[in-house]
Structure 1
Amino acid sequence: MHTAFTRGPVADIFSSYLVAVSLSAASELGVLDALRQQGSYSIEKAGTDGLDTRLVRQLLVTLSWAEIVEVAEDKAVIGPRFDQAWDARGYFYWMVRGCGELFSVLPGVTRTRARVGDYYTRDMRAVAVGSKLIGETEVEPHFVELLGELDYKVITDLGCGSGQRLIGAVSRRPGVRGVGVDIAPAAVDLARNSVEQAGLSDRITMVSGDVRNLEPLPEFADVDLITCVFLGHDFWPKTTCVEGLRKLRTAFPNARRLLLCDVVRSEEPPGADTTIFTLGFELVHAAMGVYLPTRSEWYEAFRESGWVLNGERDFAAPPLGILFDLSPES
């Protein structure tokens, strides 16, 4: 009997999947937050919070396999890999909660005859939350720095997701107004709630729309700064990307700057040094039929659509992330 697979690398792949699922769940349930704040977590107290203590224990036991926590009796404490898991929690939430249903139907969506209409589902609220957490490590600090150097009166965020970027940009500048645009109703609702909680409903407007095909609206007339984060690949393939970028110039006639941040396609084969997110990001978008451009392909699209590249910044997290600083061609 060939039973070598029951231990070792292949068995670890199986267990690692379950760790990813448990890490995502622990993040959503607030278990990771409690561990981060207190250094320990009472499994018994989970019951008073309305959680199934047996399941919570099993989630933590699964995380202990990866040394993220250590479990003893009715308590869990942070393990040697907790800090890295905390920093990476957005990636796991994006993958498991946001894209889990898509992964479960991969055989079906691989068959081209099944690719009709809305042939896949993702939890776009979870994608927005995961993307927010992913961006907090490097992307948002870069944005805060760059926005501090720019003069703008009205900012729009394309694919605004949870709305946090827009809220930050507006709250840091008295008198500045904002417009959020997102195609997903769940993300728009999440952003509206966030804006209301921040007390900025009088300064930030939310618009439902497809950023690839925007027409001029009264809300867009005075926008002088456009931001677009983790959404640029949705403009592709190239013909639609060029057309979509041209339409941005028409929809936002007074825009003087476009800050476009996206993750580009890897041009190296996967190996021991393959970074987190890279395989997942590329697999998910292949399943959705979305083309991922390389850096050089973006350069071509900018030139052909009338946007001038002022500069760019590379990110370590998310891996292969780039912030393009663009201005409309005069």
Structure 2
Amino acid sequence: MASKLTDSKHAVAHIFNSAIAAPAIAAAWELGFSMNITDYAEQHDLDLGSLKGLASALATVHVVKQDANTHVLRNENRTGSFYNRESAAIAYACREANAGFFDPMFWKAMGETDYQIHSVPALEFAAAESVLRGLSDRLTFIQGDACALKYRDEFNQVDLLTSFLMGHDFWPRENCVATLKSLRTAFPNVRRFLLCDTARVLLDSTDKSDTSRSRHAVTEGGVPIFTLGFEFGHAMMDTFIPTIEDWEGVLEEGGWRCNKSYTFPPSLPFCLDLEPINQH
């Protein structure tokens, strides 16, 4: 029998997931969604990834049994900036998630290195926070594309890299490998890279014979809090969320070795403690 704590967590997750599923019901009704997902997407010119996210949201709260804002589901409308992420708002809203999920893993990983760093975690928001906390003389903020960073003289002194909740923006796979390689070039003296993000666990195949299925996959009946909103939201934005196995499959090719990995089940935030391969 499940413990009261487990039941309590599941009940809270169900409330959260129901809030996500409520607008999904309206979207499914508007679309007349009632058949094989792949066939339905093709027949009605809908984005397959978004439709799968919609179906998962409905299956999670038992509105449909899956064998699988309607405007952005339609391919004709998925042009230009059909969905935007507000980086400053995300940075602010993620502070609680960071404190509850990532900080324990990150500081545990930091505690096992020989670094002594005391700093605070979108650019203007971070700069303003650094002033309020009296750290503006110790921190420098540079705007750039993390997927295409070029060497700068000030990067030569950097020996520790950190990345929070943006690793999935490195993907698809070939882009991720290229980005991991470019980070080695941009920061030639880096010794450690702490990569923290959330892995995909819901939008995997639930067929246990499927070799591409993640070992951390969850069924619709056991979806933890945060997961549904995170994965459905990114599916709507056509942003791929990699699994832990996806990450494990690119590190060596990208020039990095994983010393240790930390996970925070069940929604699976993770932190990878990486070091460059063949560093001299």
- Structure 2-normalised TM-score? 0.66
Asked if structure 1 preserves the Cα contact closer than 8 Å seen for 2:162 and 2:194, the reply is yes
Tell me: CA distance 1:305–1:208, structure 2 relative to 1, closer, same or farther (3 Å). Answer: same
Which residue of structure 2 aligns with residue 137 of structure 1? 100
Contact 1:138–1:316 under 8 Å retained in 2: no
Q: Structure 1's 13 and 148: CA in aligned 2 closer, same or farther, altered over 3 A?
A: closer
Residues 121 and 250 (structure 1), Cα distance of their counterparts in 2 relative to 1, 3 Å cut = same
- 1:114 shift after superposition: 2.5
Q: Does 1:292 align with 2:241?
A: yes
Q: What amino acid is aligned across from residue 205 of structure 1 in structure 2?
A: T
Name the amino acid aligned to 1:200: L
Aligned-residue CA RMSD in angstroms?
Answer: 2.5
In the alignment, structure 1 residue 206 sits paired with structure 2 residue 141: yes
- Report the structure, 1 or 2, having the larger strand content: 1
Give the Cα–Cα distance (whole angstroms) in 1 for the partners of residues 137 and 233 of structure 2: 37
Mapped to 2, the partners of 1:204 and 1:269 lie a distance apart of: 40
Give the match for residue 328 of structure 1: 276
Say how many residue pairs are matched.
Answer: 203
Distance in 1 (alpha carbons) for counterparts of 2:153 and 2:250: 27
Asked whether the equivalents of residues 314 and 321 of structure 1 are also in contact (C-alpha less than 8 Å), the reply is yes
SS at 1:242's partner residue?
helix
Q: Which residue of 2 aligns with 1:247?
A: 182
Task: Kindly provide the CA deviation profile for residues 200-226 of structure 1, in whole angstroms up to 9, marking residues without a partner as x.
Answer: 111100011111111112332211011
Q: How does 1:66-215 map to 2 (within 5 A)?
A: 106-152=69-115, 169-171=117-119, 187-215=122-150
Unmatched 5+ stretches in structure 1: 1-11, 21-105, 154-168, 172-177, 181-186
Which deviations, in whole Å up to 9, do the C-alpha atoms of 1:238-292 show, x marking residues without a partner? 0100001110001111101111111111143543321011111111111111111
**Secondary structure in 2 matching 1:136:** helix
Paired letter, 1:277: F
The percentage of counterpart residues that share the same residue type is 40
**Are the counterparts in 2 of residues 237 and 291 from structure 1 also a CA contact under 8 Å?**
yes
Q: For residue 272 of structure 1, give the secondary structure of its aligned residue in structure 2.
A: helix
Give the Cα–Cα distance (whole angstroms) in 2 for the partners of residues 194 and 289 of structure 1: 32
Larger Rg: 1
1:306 positional shift: 1.1
Amino acid at match of 1:303: E
In the alignment, which residue of structure 1 is the partner of 2:53?
Answer: none
- How much has 1:142 moved relative to structure 2? 2.5
1:231 maps to 2:189: no
Could you give the per-residue CA deviations for residues 16-71 of structure 1, whole angstroms, max 9, x where no partner exists?
A: 649x9xxxxxxxxxxxxxxxxxxxxxxxxxxxxxxxxxxxxxxxxxxxxxxxxxxx
Structure 2 CA distance, aligned partners of 1:132 and 1:219? 28
Query: Given that residues 243 and 305 in structure 1 are in contact (C-alpha distance below 8 angstroms), is that contact kept between their aligned partners in structure 2?
Result: yes
Take 1:119 and 1:221, find their aligned partners in 2: how far apart are those partners?
39
| SS in structure 2 of the partner of residue 133 of structure 1 | helix
Q: Is the 8 A contact 1:242 1:305 kept in 2?
A: yes
Distance across 1 between alignment mates of 2:162 and 2:241: 19
Structure 1 residue 137: deviation in Å?
A: 1.3
CA distance in 2: counterparts of 1:249 and 1:265, whole angstroms:
26
Is the 2:199–2:244 Cα contact (8 Å) retained in structure 1? yes
1:136-184 per-position Cα deviation (integer Å, ceiling 9, x unaligned): 013212222322332348xxxxxxxxxxxxxxx435xxxxxx9x8xxxx
TM-score computed with the length of structure 1 as normaliser: 0.57
SS of the residue 1:151 aligns to: coil
- For 1:324 and 1:192, how far apart are their aligned partners in 2? 26
